[in-house]
Amino acid sequence: MDIRTVGVVGLGNMGLGMAATLVRKGFTVLGYDLSEGRRGAAEAAGVAFVPVLNDLLGRADALVFSLPYARDVEAVATAEGGLLARSDRKVVVIDTSTSDPGTTRRLAARLARAGHALLDAPVSGGPSGAAEGTLTMMIGGAEEDFALAEPVLRAMSARAVHVGPSGAGNIVKLVNNLLVAAHLVTTGEALRLSQAAGLSAEEAVAVVNTATGRSAVSEVMVPRWVVPGTFDSGFAAGLMRKDVRLALELAEESGVDLPLSAHVGRIWREAAEAIPDTADFTRMADYRHP
């Protein structure tokens, strides 16, 4: 089944970038967002803004969700008179949100009963990767659904990896973001140590990035957003707190004790006053302030 029209639900920093990329790659793209204020940016990118959610759900050959929470994904996918009411074709939902595997599996089963499919397809690469079509996507779901959605996935990403059945993509993303959350804490502390001991953070990180202590935080985030003090990566601290919470909940459900990760979770929670949910998540690596 050809996919020519893609509906993108959620036109924030990530969703609008993905929608614009799909337009450039030749798809007809419909966009929906709760905020009518996103219409101008969407239309400037060649996205047809659809003000009524069910209109978009009823017209798209495939759907891309970019939403903050699992409850938002479930509410959109099961909206009365929306996707579940369609019987004209199989629609694959590509959920790029970071969700929990349990919710994903339950929702995938419900969509399957209605003749549709859900791929959990969280992404790495940030707003710039979404806008440039260079995301890494980690995808859970049935192989046949991955194959059906592959043209859309390929258009949005530099690498789209089918990691396993439903929920597998969420697991990989939570593992990834748990590491990022820890790296932000440890990198910020290490650079604070360097400053206090008499070597500038800039000089220290330049060497670290040629040695074994490097990470995406030290190689990309610190030079781009922390050292200049711009803290404008486009990813909110509140979303990282949510991802860390989901990862630790998954650890508890899986019967795994993660003492260091649990401490990282406490650090992120206790920093909420200094680094509120609306702040950029890279502020956690700010070596200038304790």
Phi-psi region of 50 (alpha: psi -120 to 50; beta: other; left: phi over 0): beta
Four-residue CA torsion sign, 173, 175, 176, 181: positive
For residue 98 the two structure tokens come to 């970071």
CB 94 within 8 A of CB 42: no
3-state SS assignment for residue 285? helix
Can you tell me the distance from the alpha carbon of 160 to that of 150, in angstroms, rounded to the nearest whole number? 8
Can you tell me the distance from the alpha carbon of 34 to that of 157, in angstroms, rounded to the nearest whole number? 25
Amino acid occupying residue 252: E
Kind plus residue range of the DSSP H or E element containing 163: strand 157-164
Task: Look up 90 and say whether it is catalytic.
Answer: no
Which of 57, 135, 119 lies closest to 89 in space, CA to CA?
A: 57
CB 91 within 8 A of CB 83: yes
Catalytic residues: 173
